[in-house]
Amino acid sequence: MSSGGTIVENGRTYYTVGTLKYSLFGLVNLFIWMLWGDFCFTLMEMLIPSLLPLFLKSHEAPNWLIGLVVGSIPAALNFIINPIVSTRSDRTRTRWGRRIPYLLFASPFVTLFLILLGWSDAIGGFIQQTVFGGAVPAATVIIGCIIVFAVAFQCFNMFVFSIFYYIFADVVPKQFMGRFMALFRMVGTIAGFTFNRYIIKYADLHMPWIFTAVALVYFTAFMLMCLLVKEGQYPPPEPPKGNPVRTY
């Protein structure tokens, strides 16, 4: 849907994409909120591959389990969820748009399970004492909590991951897409630098608070982005195509 152009009304220039129309101020506002959302999303995405292996290793989880939780399970979930969510969002029509409802639905759960994941030590210790009466090793219960929370997080994060990049073509005018993507890459690089320079060094002592803080920053940024970035109107979806009838 990345189509549109430039129109002049009452001496003012507007930029269009689909049914959306932006003044220069509106376009700058769009860029700010989309890029801020990308910055926070990139920070959040770096938690799992950077800190989850350290978290699991601290409880003596075997390497095969770390690889399964960090790599194999997310890949399998992406294989299953991404095509379904992508296709459904293409065909969704609501007054809030076709992408934003999925982001609004998934982001609170992403935040919740990230926070629970960060506090797996405390939660696992509580369950080990109250449910199992100390009969099961604490490390086993904690690893189990980490796996449950990590998989739940990945399930909902696939909704965000599948949808977030699609919204660009729906809201950014075509003539500015190249500049937006260049800024998008720059912001992602800055987020990676920020994480590696200022956050990861505190992981050993403040792991739960890092997960909590990054999750809440992500949640706030995405909620504001979903409220302040508007989608336009879309034509009705094409009817599903059935299996072709073969003639002999």
Please give the span between the terminal C-alpha atoms of the chain, in angstroms, as a whole number: 39
Q: At residue 231, what are phi and psi to the nearest 5 degrees?
A: -95, 155
User: Is 209 a residue whose pLDDT tops 90?
Assistant: yes
User: Is 2 a residue whose pLDDT tops 50?
Assistant: no
CB 124 within 8 A of CB 142: yes
pLDDT given at position 5:
80
Q: What is the pLDDT of residues 84-129, one digit of tens each?
A: 999 999 999 998 999 999 999 999 999 999 999 999 999 999 999 9
Q: Where are the domains of the chain?
A: 6-228
User: Is 244 a residue whose pLDDT tops 60?
Assistant: no
| Cβ-defined contacts of 236-239 (< 8 Å, 24+) | 236/93, 237/90, 237/91, 237/93
Task: Over range 123-140, report the average pLDDT.
Answer: 91
**6-228 carries CATH number 1.10.10:** no
β-partners of residue 6 are 15
pLDDT given at position 39:
96
Tokens of 195: 């994480």
Task: Over range 62-70, report the average pLDDT.
Answer: 94
CB 38 within 8 A of CB 222: no
Among 38-42, 115-119, 239-243, where is mean pLDDT lowest?
Answer: 239-243
Helix axes 203-228, 100-118, angle to 10 degrees: 160
User: Is 167 a residue whose pLDDT tops 80?
Assistant: yes
Average pLDDT, the chain: 91
User: Is 18 a residue whose pLDDT tops 80?
Assistant: yes
Neighbouring C-beta atoms of residue 21, cutoff 10 Å: 15
Residue 50, judged by CB atoms within 10 A of its CB (0-12, 13-18, 19+), counts as middle
pLDDT given at position 4:
59
Q: Return the percentage of the chain with pLDDT > 90, whole number.
A: 82
β-partners of residue 197 are none
Q: Where are the strands (E) in the chain, listed by range?
A: 6-9, 12-17, 20-22
Q: What is the DSSP string of 93-149?
A: --TT-SSHHHHHHHHHHHHHHHHHHHTHHHHHHHHHHHTSTT-S-HHHHHHHHHHHH
User: Is 61 a residue whose pLDDT tops 70?
Assistant: yes
Neighbouring C-beta atoms of residue 188, cutoff 10 Å: 17
pTM beyond 0.75: the answer is yes
pLDDT given at position 238:
79
- The identity of residue 95, as a single letter, is R
Q: How many CA atoms lie within 13 A of 32 on its CB side?
A: 8
